[in-house]
Structure 1
Amino acid sequence: MPADTVPDHSAALVAQANLPTSPDQLLARLTELGLATRTTDHVPVFTVEESQQVSRDMSGGHIKNLFLRNKREEMWLVTVEENRRVDLKKLGEKLTGETGSNAKLSFGSADRLMTYLGVIPGAVTPFAVINDKGRKVKMVLDRHLLDCDPVNAHPLVNFKTTAISPGDLLAFLEAEGHKPQLVDFD
């Protein structure tokens, strides 16, 4: 790719330097909980496609994360296998138990993402619930990920990937007060 077509992500990298919880603090919390992880450094990735380029040699399940909200200001962090198609209309009905406008989900803004989960777009991760001290965001996990070992997720920044067993991921989410709703996306 010619240098003049490479996106400038310097602002995003600066934003990640000032997060409420650092990757090192997150990894220390995982260690404190007795959870085993392995973290790999790589170039910053902002899309699933970019992530697939750096994760070719990493075994296990790779994810994408959707930070969603509805008109009633309810918020969800939805973590699914990276190639999974998500129908937001059907998901909204499943999560809210309603049809119509109350079930309509949309993506949360970058400001809302930073306010509630303390990460920037491109670095969204189930580990971000560590920053949701008010328990405002509901965690939703693709049931299929429980069959992937390990699960690979960003440790609050998009230039690292942390591998964790599905059981340990569940243990972390529960320890942070975010027991996930397991959803079958098939």
Structure 2
Amino acid sequence: MPASRDDLMSFFAELGIDVSTVDHQPVFTVAESGELHDQIPGGHTKNLFVKDKKGRLFLIVALHDAEIDLKKVHQIIGAQGRVSFGNADLLMEVLGVEPGSVTPFSLINDREALRVTPVFDAAMMQHEILNYHPLKNDASTAIRAGDLLKFARACGHDPQVLAVSEEAKAAGL
């Protein structure tokens, strides 16, 4: 059974991570979330659940407006050949969330199998505060960038902070 929002919030509390959550209408795409950006301070994000030719899974997390070249990103993240999007069934099986609700917080559901490699864009990690769905797309939870790393590591993952976006590469991050 995937973790619930309450489970996630309890895990944050156990780790001593302060977060704040704002409930809102469900948003399924970055385009739909535009109005929230003015209402909720911090970096707003997108999440790409992808797999390589050998079936390795990656969760690429970047700022909402980041440009990521999916034809070349495999060279940066260490994937075998080009990546493609993982389907909804695989997403639910591995991270316990539905499309439109993908979030690095879903790593809480991959603590045993450790099937996903989280990749956090270097440009995104320059923001002090970042916003992600707390496992469902009807709320946004703000977390400090350093605490995001702490959370991912507490889930057993070693997140890679890499310049996957064009913006990060241009800034030399």
Given the two structures, how large is their TM-score scaled by the length of structure 2?
0.91
Tell me which amino acid in the other structure corresponds to 1:176: C
- 1:142 correspondence with 2:124: no
- 1:39-58 superposed matches below 5 A: 39-58=21-40
Q: Is the Cα–Cα contact under 8 Å of residues 89 and 103 in structure 1 kept in the other structure?
A: no
- Structure 1 position 61, deviation (Å): 0.4
In 1: Cα distance, 2:119 partner to 2:141 partner: 19
Q: Distance in 2 between matches of 1:158 and 1:44?
A: 5
Q: How does 1:112-151 map to 2 (within 5 A)?
A: 112-132=90-110, 133-151=112-130
For the residue of structure 2 that corresponds to 1:65, the secondary structure is strand
Distance 1:53 1:113 in 2: 27
Please list every run of 5 or more consecutive structure 1 residues that lacks an aligned counterpart in the other structure: 1-18
Offset of residue 149 of structure 1: 2.1
Show the counterpart of 1:28: 10
Q: Give CA deviations for 1:37-70 in whole Å, capped at 9, x if unaligned.
A: 0000000000001112223211110100000001
Q: Tell me the CA shift for residue 96 of structure 1.
A: 2.3
Task: Tell me the equivalent position of 1:3.
Answer: none
How far off is 1:144 after superposition?
A: 1.5
- Give the superposition deviation at 1:72: 0.6
- The RMSD of aligned alpha carbons is 1.2
Measure, in 1, the Cα distance between the counterparts of 2:15 and 2:96: 21
| Aligned counterpart, 2:131 | 152
In 1, Cα distance between equivalents of 2:123 and 2:82: 24
Give aligned pairs, total: 164
Point out the structure with max Rg over C-alpha.
1
Asked if 1:77 is matched to 2:59, the reply is yes
Task: Give yes or no for contact 2:77–2:162 (8 Å, CA) kept in 1.
Answer: no
